[in-house]
Structures are given as structure tokens and as C-alpha cells.
Amino acid sequence: MSDITLILLGAGSASRFKLPPKKQWLWIDKEPLWLKVANDFQKIKSFESTVIVSSKDDINSMSNFASYHFVEGGDSRQQSLKNALKVVKTPYVLVSDIARCCLDSDMIKRVILAKNNNGCVVPTLKVVDTLYFENLPIDREASKVIQTPQLSPTKMLLKALSSNKEFSDDSSAIASLGGKIIFVEGSTKAHKLTTIEDLAKMTCLKAPSTQAMTGFGVDIHPFEEGKKMMLCGIEIESKFGFKAHSDGDVAIHALIDALLGAAGLGDIGEFYPDTSDRYKGADSKELLLDTLKRLHDFGYVIGNIDLTIIAQTPKLLNYKRAMRFKLANLLNLNPNLVNIKATTSEKLGWIGRKEGVAVEAIATLYYYDWTKNENYHN
């Protein structure tokens, strides 16, 4: 069994990366970037465990995709790393940024081979340009560019980070304790993905798969007298509304489940629980917009949606067009990609007895194609 735990840091807000998806959620063939990086590391070396540090919201979704150990990040890189170190049981840790997404396996093997009980192993590059410090040139032969991943003894790194000082990397933290710094040859391939322009340098990143993903959703609500009836974000003239924790827009609820289903992200109750006061009387349009933002953050775009509303009453014929345009507008889709069907249950069962309404929805999603953005030149 390995005595090294891999820590991948990905909790930063990535505010310099201006695309609809977060950079760790760019799709590389059929994997999000963060998962590709974690899986690529396992192909180089079997670690005792892999700890992925990210924001709380991301972790909830990431944990549906892989069985790695997920830890919530802090306000800074240092705090995130401290949170991760709390769950580490091995004597050594290899720490990398998720954004260093093209791995040079030879370099990583060099770092691991140089493992040292007394200090931090650091990959470095020679400086090729002339360097000035303030107004004077400095000896570039004696200068190095520091890269990651870096390998440290776990206890030494924990101790170094417990000081209040902010360090820019693990080696400077270890050096502050008087620990040894062991330099190994780095790699010019190990770029960090910071801005969209960097994408063109990342030759290891394949374009996203063009495969469509399908999701299905169903929702049912009973009628309740004296409440406004909302369906697809449109107010329907009726003596009844829907009994519900939220505004009861049963059509939007089924649609949210179809969208989350296609994205592999669970169901509506996990994101907007009907036990939470926060969603009491909630406007379902807001929940749909929040779902859409989540889909965009995680690198999905909607292909089309199709809903069937099963209701004995009210009659919906005259509302279908308005519903289509309302949902198209909310989701920023062409109206031909939004289909609304209405049917009755031929007076059978609880729908036929006019006790409530059921809605079925289907949605297709695609991965956002980052190779087509105007700043990407390959």
C-alpha cells in the first residue's frame, strides 16, 4: 500500500476564467476536467487515497460522479490545504492544483522517487529569460521557477501551515521551518489553466463528446382551493391552485427533475428541499433559473425539452403557446426547442376525478463545446 495521499486543490473561484462553465467543469471527452486530472494521476501511481478540495456546492455534485474523498475548501489555498490535511492518514502528501491539468508522468515519477523524510520535493524549471530584481539584473543560473505537484511529509507541512503566515506554496512553508528543499527537474508541459487563452496550450485536452444526454421527470400535485394556479410559469384561471410547499408549479418541478436527471445531478428535493423554510412559497421560476445556472456552471447546454401535462381540469389548450414562450424565455432557448402537450386521463382515476394534475417532462443536454469559443485557437 502506498504511503502517499494525493491532494488536488480546486476550491478557487477561478474568476479570471471567462466562460459559462467553471474551468474545473469543462468537459474533456466524457469527463469533467477535475475528474480527468484525478483519474490521470491514478494511472501514474496508486495513492493510498485521493482528496479533492472544492466548494461545498461543487462537492455535492462531484460526489455523484466519483468515489474520491471530497473536502470543502476554505477562503484561501492555505486554508483549503489545511482542511484536506485533516483527513490524511499517510506520512506523505503530494499536493497539486486541479488546474494543472496536463500531467507529465515522468516529472511526477521524479518527484515521488525523491521522497524525503526531512523536507519538500519540488519540480523546478530553469529560467531562460533575463531577470531583474528592482533595477538590477540577477543571476538567472542561480534562479528557478517552482512548479507543482510538491511532495511533503504530512506532519511537517501541517506544522508549517499552522503559523499565521500566508505561504505561496508548500515548499516555502516547509522552508520556513528549516526543512530541506529537494529540487527535481520540472516540465514545460505542466501549464496551469488560468485564462481561456491557456486552453490552446493544453494539448492533452480533448474536445467534449457531442453525445446528447436524456433526463426524465415526473411531478404530481393535488388541487388546493383559494391558491393561484401556476403552470410553466404562467398563471392559469382556476378556482384551485396546487397544494405544495412552493408555489406548486408542477410542470416546472417535473422539468427541473428532467434537467437534473440528464446532467446526472440527482433530483429536485436534493437542491430545494420541501422541508426548508427557504423554499416556502418559492417562485418555481426562480428554482428553474437556479437549476439553469448550475447546468451552465457545470458545462451543460440544453438541447430541447418536452412536457406533457395530464389534467382533467383546467382546460389548457389556450395556454400552451404562452407556456412554450415563457419557458423558452426563461431558459434562453428558441421556442421550437420547447414543446408543451396537454392531455386528460379520460376521466379515469384521481386525475379524472379532478383531484390534481400530473406532469411528465423530458430534456436533452449537451456538453458546452469550449473549443468553439472565440478565444480558443488550436
Q: Which residues bind Mg ion (CB under 5 A)?
A: 219, 253
Q: Which is nearer to Mg ion, 181 or 362 (CB)?
A: 362
Q: Which is nearer to Mg ion, 17 or 242 (CB)?
A: 242
Instruction: Give least dist CB 270 to Mg ion, A.
Output: 13
Q: Which is nearer to Mg ion, 12 or 356 (CB)?
A: 356
Q: Are 224 and 360 in contact (CB under 8 A)?
A: no
What is the grid cell recorded at 375? 478565444
What is the grid cell recorded at 340? 408543451
Q: Which is nearer to Mg ion, 112 or 251 (CB)?
A: 251
With 0-12 CB in 10 A as exposed, 13-18 as middle and 19+ as buried, what is 135?
exposed
Q: Which is nearer to Mg ion, 32 or 356 (CB)?
A: 356
Distances (CA, A) of 289 to 205, 214, 253, 292: 30, 19, 12, 5
A 10 A CB-CB count for 79 gives: 15
Instruction: Give least dist CB 293 to Mg ion, A.
Output: 20
Instruction: Give least dist CB 279 to Mg ion, A.
Output: 11
Instruction: Give least dist CB 219 to Mg ion, A.
Output: 4
* Residue 107: HSE in the Cβ half-sphere, 13 Å Cα cutoff: 22
Instruction: Give least dist CB 155 to Mg ion, A.
Output: 51
Q: Which residue is nearest to Mg ion (CB)?
A: 253
Per DSSP bridges, beta strands 229-231 and 234-236 are antiparallel
Per DSSP bridges, beta strands 356-367 and 300-310 are antiparallel
Instruction: Give least dist CB 358 to Mg ion, A.
Output: 11
Q: Are 105 and 166 in contact (CB under 8 A)?
A: no
Instruction: Give least dist CB 285 to Mg ion, A.
Output: 14
Instruction: Give least dist CB 144 to Mg ion, A.
Output: 59
Q: Which is nearer to Mg ion, 23 or 253 (CB)?
A: 253
* Residue 318: HSE in the Cβ half-sphere, 13 Å Cα cutoff: 6
Q: Which is nearer to Mg ion, 36 or 253 (CB)?
A: 253
Dihedral-angle region of residue 303 (phi above 0 means left; psi in -120 to 50 means alpha; beta otherwise): alpha
Q: Which is nearer to Mg ion, 108 or 357 (CB)?
A: 357
Q: Are 344 and 312 in contact (CB under 8 A)?
A: yes
Residue/partner pairs of 274-282 with CB below 8 Å, 24 or more apart: 274/244, 274/245, 274/246, 279/245, 279/246, 280/245, 280/246, 281/245, 281/246, 281/247, 282/245, 282/246, 282/247
